[in-house]
Structure 1
Amino acid sequence: MAIERYNGFAQALHWLTVAALCLVLPCVWVAENFPPGPVRVLWYLAHESMGISVGLLVLIRLTWRWRHRAPAYQPEIGAGTRALAHLNHGLLYAVLLAMPVTGYMMAGNGQDVPFFGLVSLPGFARNEDLGKLANTVHVWGQFAVYGLIVMHVAAVVWHVAVRRDGMLERMLPPQRD
């Protein structure tokens, strides 16, 4: 039985999101280890710009997904596994939207937000309470991102190494024999 795949655009959006996440996380880890100064600011600006990019990619993915159905699961994939996959994907989308929003609320609190040094996105009036709330959600949200990504990757490994059911192929271009 042939594996039904996501189309090329959906696959590209998925892997672009993965690449952006692989960049956004190390940028802030590096920034946190520099003393205050211009180098630290540059790393934070890179983190913020990549975070905005992740948010835009997720919005594009959700819009695309709304208009295009996902490929059908193979019949041997049980209802419980499907439910867990849907839950993980839904939570990933939610947290990958919440993180850029709360990050923007922190960065744009009383100032404009530079985007890769190309444009300045408008900030909003300074609000200490909103900034603290955004910071709290953002800090705790990182652990949700880590956990959900670990679960997502663990499921991929399980499907590839244990079940060997071709599930990963849904998000890959067709392979040659």
Structure 2
Amino acid sequence: MISSLSMGQERFSGWAQALHWITAAALCFLLPFVWVAENFPPGPVRTFWYMAHESMGISVFLLVLMRLTWRWRHRAPSYPPGIAAVQRAAAWANHALLYAVLLVMPVTGYMMAGNGQGVPYFRLLTLPGFAQNQALGVAANTVHVWGQFALYALVAMHVAATVYHVAIRRDGLLERMLPPQRGP
């Protein structure tokens, strides 16, 4: 389900675009929640912000699973003409690594939060935890901490590439991930 751009290029479907932008918005909320939580002493306020962070993490995990399922069933639109093979390979690698990190981060977060207890999801339900395991918690924390830096770097590269294509190349690449625009 790909629609055409005015220059004969293709764009992602509305569903793919919505999942992309909802995921981006969820990440913009998820990160500050944990930064806020870290600035409160142990207690109900800190617990609330951690619950919000963990719940958004679970939501991102579900969104990424939906995105991967959609991509598996629907091909990506063609690149605009003139995109070099090395740029296509870099884009593919960045997207693949983003998907991997966006799956690993919620899993390791769940392993930390659910280590010996249930994990509340927006106070709507409590997901099951598992038996407490100190070594698993430490390993999950290590991967989670390093994963955040990988996520920052990958998102920065993704945004930088988008800016390059919009401001320098002006090749319409971003249009693939935007709804059709009205005329001038």
For Structure 1 versus Structure 2, the TM-score category normalised by the shorter chain is: over 0.9
Partner of 1:47: 53
Provide Cα deviations, 1:53-96, integer angstroms capped at 9, x if missing partner.
Answer: 00000001001100000001122111010000000000000000
For the residue of structure 2 that corresponds to 1:2, the secondary structure is coil
Whichever residue aligns with residue 109 of structure 1, its letter is N
Provide Cα deviations, 1:90-144, integer angstroms capped at 9, x if missing partner.
Answer: 0000000000000000000011100000011011111110000000000110000
Structure 2 residue 29 is matched with structure 1 residue 27: no
Mapped contact 2:80–2:172 kept (Cα < 8 A): no
Partner of 2:9: 3
Partner of 2:172: 166
Partner of 1:90: 96
Determine which of 110, 115, 121 is the counterpart of 1:115: 121
Mapped contact 1:3–1:169 kept (Cα < 8 A): no
Determine which of 72, 76, 79 is the counterpart of 2:85: 79
Partner of 1:61: 67
For the residue of structure 2 that corresponds to 1:71, the secondary structure is coil
Give the unaligned 5+ runs of structure 1: none
For the residue of structure 1 that corresponds to 2:11, the secondary structure is coil
Q: Quick one: distance in 2 between partners of 1:147 and 1:3?
A: 29
Determine which of 138, 141, 147 is the counterpart of 2:144: 138
Mapped contact 1:112–1:121 kept (Cα < 8 A): yes
Q: Quick one: distance in 2 between partners of 1:36 and 1:48?
A: 16
Structure 2 residue 135 is matched with structure 1 residue 151: no
TM-score, normalised by the number of residues in structure 2: 0.95
Mapped contact 1:28–1:43 kept (Cα < 8 A): yes
For the residue of structure 2 that corresponds to 1:120, the secondary structure is strand
Please state how far the C-alpha of 1:3 moved relative to its aligned partner. 2.4
Q: Quick one: distance in 1 between partners of 2:170 and 2:121?
A: 42
Partner of 2:182: 176
TM-score, normalised by the number of residues in structure 1: 0.99
Q: Which stretches of structure 1, 4 residues or longer, exceed 3 Å deviation after superposition?
A: none
For the residue of structure 2 that corresponds to 1:114, the secondary structure is strand
Whichever residue aligns with residue 92 of structure 2, its letter is H
Please state how far the C-alpha of 1:22 moved relative to its aligned partner. 0.4
Q: Quick one: distance in 2 between partners of 1:90 and 1:159?
A: 20
Give the unaligned 5+ runs of structure 2: 1-6
